[in-house]
């Protein structure tokens, strides 16, 4: 379900980009990112409402770390990802500001309904700015496909991704409980990995199709959606109080959030060395997470 959901999400996203003459990176940041972020949204909201706030928080932080360290890291190790920084510089600047803001709020344990409302407003402002920029596709196509049919395929693909993720997460939670791990560990590692599985599947398929814009756009969009939409809606419904010292985890989160734009700023690509570096940071994150058992 994860594989085919990602496969058709990429295909239909690419077709919509061509039909509407918009940049693939725009599709990656919006349509593809929203589709692959649905698992985080469902898991975090349901977990928080059911009183498992540490799973919800761990899922969001862990997913953003996984998106860069695991998804981008593994993808770049197998294939160099090339993208000019200027193509997504505004989106990166916004992601950096939001990541720093989220880091500070977690640091001071200030995650209430007002912050949730602020995040939702910031998401609306960002999306409005994104639409106003009207990123045009530099390689227009004569594809006369039907945008409504492709939109339905995207909805179906997103449903496949969600269903595949739900089964993965349920299995992971069951294994974690049998092994005696607490909710913070489960949220940061197993569930975060499970909800990042759509991004991983999407990125590997995008590499095969040489859709590098969609890979970077998907990671930027997913990380933004995780903080602004997922955390925003989760907090708006019910505030979260951090009960565990996760300073090292937060530092890793901020480090990876800043490292990706820095790599692209200086290199305009993410090669095998950079991929291996961020993947090592991800492994260190896993090691630190299991110290919370």
pLDDT of residue 26 exceeding 90, the answer is no
For residues 204-223, average pLDDT? 84
pLDDT class of 18 with cuts at 50, 70, 90: confident
Q: Which helix (H) or strand (E) is 82 found in, with range?
A: strand 81-82
Over residues 137-179, the pLDDT tens digits come to 555 554 556 888 888 888 888 788 778 767 776 776 777 778 7
pLDDT class of 243 with cuts at 50, 70, 90: confident
- Report the share of the chain in percent with pLDDT over 90: 34
pLDDT class of 134 with cuts at 50, 70, 90: low
Over residues 39-61, the pLDDT tens digits come to 778 778 878 888 878 878 888 99
β pairing state of 81-82 and 269-270: antiparallel
Dihedral angle sign, alpha carbons of residues 92, 94, 97, 98: negative
For residues 66-72, average pLDDT? 92
Nearest alpha-carbon partner for 48 in 167, 164, 183: 183
Higher pLDDT, 171 or 235: 235
Confidence (pLDDT) at 105 = 96
Confidence (pLDDT) at 169 = 67
Burial of 118 from C-beta contacts in 10 A (0-12 / 13-18 / 19+): middle
Confidence (pLDDT) at 113 = 94
pLDDT class of 110 with cuts at 50, 70, 90: very high
Residue ranges of domains in the chain, CATH in brackets: 2-292 (1.20.1420.30)
């Amino acid at each position: 379900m994860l594989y085919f959901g990602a496969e058709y999400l990429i295909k239909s996203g690419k077709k919509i980009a061509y039909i509407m003459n918009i940049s693939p990176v725009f599709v990656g940041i919006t349509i593809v990112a929203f589709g692959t972020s649905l698992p985080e949204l469902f898991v975090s909201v349901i977990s928080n409402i059911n009183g498992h706030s540490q799973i919800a928080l761990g899922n969001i932080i862990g997913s953003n770390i996984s998106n860069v360290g695991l998804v981008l890291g593994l993808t770049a190790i197998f294939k160099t990802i090339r993208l000019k920084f200027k193509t997504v510089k505004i989106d990166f600047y916004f992601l950096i500001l939001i990541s720093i803001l989220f880091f500070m709020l977690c640091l001071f344990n200030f995650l209430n309904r007002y912050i949730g409302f602020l995040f939702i407003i910031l998401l609306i402002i960002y999306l409005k700015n994104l639409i106003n920029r009207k990123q045009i596709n530099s390689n227009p196509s004569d594809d006369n496909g039907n945008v409504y049919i492709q939109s339905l395929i995207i909805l179906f693909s997103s449903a496949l991704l969600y269903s595949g993720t739900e089964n993965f997460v349920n299995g992971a939670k069951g294994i974690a409980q049998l092994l005696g791990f607490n909710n913070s560990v489960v949220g940061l590692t197993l569930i975060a990995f499970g909800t990042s599985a759509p991004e991983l599947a999407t990125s590997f398929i995008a590499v095969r199709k040489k859709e590098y814009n969609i890979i970077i756009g998907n990671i930027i969009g997913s990380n933004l959606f995780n903080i602004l939409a997922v955390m925003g809606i989760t907090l708006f419904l019910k505030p979260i109080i951090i009960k565990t010292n996760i300073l090292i985890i937060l530092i890793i989160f901020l480090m990876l959030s800043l490292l990706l734009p820095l790599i692209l700023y200086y290199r305009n690509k993410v090669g095998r060395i950079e991929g291996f570096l961020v993947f090592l940071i991800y492994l260190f994150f896993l090691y630190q997470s299991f110290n919370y058992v």
